[in-house]
Amino acid sequence: MKKSYLINIDASRDDLRGDFYEAHEGSWKKYMNPTDDELEKSVKSEMESWLGDLGIGIDFEPDGTYFVLNGYQAVNLLDALQEWHEVVGPKELKFDEVGLNSDRYEEIVSLLGGE
């Protein structure tokens, strides 16, 4: 079974402890005062390390890559997709073409909780 999760992580400089700073200070230009980019890279590094040790892969997507639907929106979209599948159906696409083929349809339906 493969599952994907979208997790929002809030990290604030004020909440980070000294041991975090000690572990990452060598990769920062200014000790105890990392830039936003340096801090982001360090937090990502920690997550990759923790989850990697558990055998769990992690992917980072840029902000705006995902959006969230509430349950009502997901059910309505799922219904519209199923009707599209029955009436129009998927088309053949090359890998780099935009559109909805069978694989993409099944992935979207699965993400929405459909069968």
Contacts with 100 (C-beta within 8 Å, 6 or more apart), sequence order? 84, 90, 91, 108
Per DSSP, the three-state class of 48 is: helix
Cα–Cα–Cα angle for 36, 18, 25, rounded to 5 degrees: 50
Contacts with 53 (C-beta within 8 Å, 6 or more apart), sequence order? none
The model's confidence at residue 115, banded by pLDDT at 50, 70 and 90, is confident
pTM here is 0.51
pLDDT, residue 87, reads 93
Domain ranges, ordered by start, for the chain: 13-53, 71-111
pLDDT digits (tens, 9 = 90+) for 27-86: 899 877 888 889 888 988 888 888 888 888 888 777 666 677 888 898 999 999 999 999
Helix (H) or strand (E) holding 36: helix 36-53
